[in-house]
Amino acid sequence: MTALSITATAVVPVAVPTLGTAATPVYKYGTALAAITAGQSVYSDGSGGIGLFDADSATAAVRTLMGLAVGPAVAAGQQVAVQVAGQCSLGAILTKGLIYTGTATGGGVGPSADQTTGWYINVLGYALSTSILDIRPYSTGVAI
């Protein structure tokens, strides 16, 4: 499998969950450390900065998955919204029941089967349908 091809303009949080039992979406906000578009996996630097997640980064914060960027594309220094829980329509074709993760390509999202040697194990969420991801970020801090 390969990383998802997400259409940023089609990334839409599901305000009232229609599938599963997930709660209404939860967001956190911060200042973009780089250009970020909707649908990219992100991390928090712990002091309000939000950057692109990287599963094989040597820096612990960068490989600690925070959630999924939502909203319009932003440049470095602008405010960015991050969905940290709840359901989101990704604008990509998902495989129902599959677990999705952040990838080693900055901001990427892909199936968990793609995690490989050198990556730090993480989970972004799981597919409730072919279009809805239930976001539940988790990073283990354990390398494969």
Q: Are 87 and 93 in contact (CB under 8 A)?
A: no
Residue 20: pLDDT over 70? no
User: Which pLDDT does position 91 carry in this prediction?
Assistant: 84
How much is the average pLDDT of 13-19?
67
Q: Is the C-alpha dihedral spanning 73, 74, 76, 79 positive or negative?
A: negative
User: Which pLDDT does position 17 carry in this prediction?
Assistant: 59
How much is the average pLDDT of 76-102?
94
User: Which pLDDT does position 133 carry in this prediction?
Assistant: 94
β-pair type (99-102, 109-111) = antiparallel
User: Which pLDDT does position 66 carry in this prediction?
Assistant: 97
> What are residue 89's DSSP bridge partners?
12, 132
Domain parsing of the chain, residue ranges: 8-143
70-104 burial: b if 16+ Cβ within 10 Å, else e:
bbebbeeeeebbbbbbbbbebbbebeeeebbbbbb
Q: Are 121 and 140 in contact (CB under 8 A)?
A: yes
Per-residue pLDDT of 25-83, as tens digits, reads 899 999 999 999 999 999 999 999 999 999 999 999 999 999 999 989 999 999 999 99
Measured CA to CA, the distance from residue 27 to residue 29 in angstroms comes to 7
Residue 114: pLDDT over 60? yes
The band of 18, judged by pLDDT with boundaries at 50, 70 and 90, is low
Average pLDDT over the chain, rounded to whole? 91
The band of 24, judged by pLDDT with boundaries at 50, 70 and 90, is confident
User: Which pLDDT does position 23 carry in this prediction?
Assistant: 67
Measured CA to CA, the distance from residue 69 to residue 39 in angstroms comes to 5
User: Which pLDDT does position 21 carry in this prediction?
Assistant: 54
